[in-house]
């Protein structure tokens, strides 16, 4: 059913600010409760590699802002539900990181904006 008028804005309410020196925050998916770090300083989106993936040789190497190297072991497509009226299908790089990271590539593609004042993603 179609309803006339402006759609109300939906927000993720479980947004937690990270104690870092750059703009970052974290949120959880609705169905899997996986916490993702939203980092607008990261150019790519990453998920942690498991023990078996780390046994294989690294396919490429990324460099962090502090010049440390991050090994990349492949890629994986995930279907994420953040309770924003739709699912977000995205291909993440599998890397040697401890926390899944949603980078600027994901935010730009889906036109999402992290709102740090109201602690939400819209």
pLDDT tens-digit profile, the chain (122 residues): 444 544 444 433 333 334 444 445 666 676 667 788 888 888 999 999 999 998 988 889 998 888 889 999 999 999 888 777 888 899 999 999 999 999 999 999 999 888 777 767 77
Phi first, then psi: give them for residue 119, nearest 5 degrees: 50, 55
Question: Taking the mean position of all CA atoms in its chain, how far away is CA 46?
Answer: 7
Query: For residues 45 and 58, what is the distance between their CA atoms, to the nearest angstrom?
Result: 17
Looking up tokens 């023990």 gives 51
Structure tokens at 118: 């109201």
């Amino acid at each position: 059913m179609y309803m006339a008028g402006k759609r109300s804005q939906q927000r993720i309410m479980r947004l937690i600010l990270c104690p870092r020196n750059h703009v970052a925050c974290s949120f959880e998916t609705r169905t899997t409760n996986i916490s993702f770090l939203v980092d607008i300083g990261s150019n790519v989106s990453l998920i942690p590699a498991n023990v078996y993936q780390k046994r294989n040789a690294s396919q490429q190497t990324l460099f962090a802002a502090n010049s440390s190297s991050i090994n990349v072991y492949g890629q994986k497509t995930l279907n994420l539900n953040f309770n924003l009226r739709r699912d977000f299908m995205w291909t993440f790089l599998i890397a040697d990181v401890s926390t899944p990271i949603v980078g600027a590539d994901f935010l730009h593609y889906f036109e999402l904006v992290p709102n740090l004042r109201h602690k939400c993603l819209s």
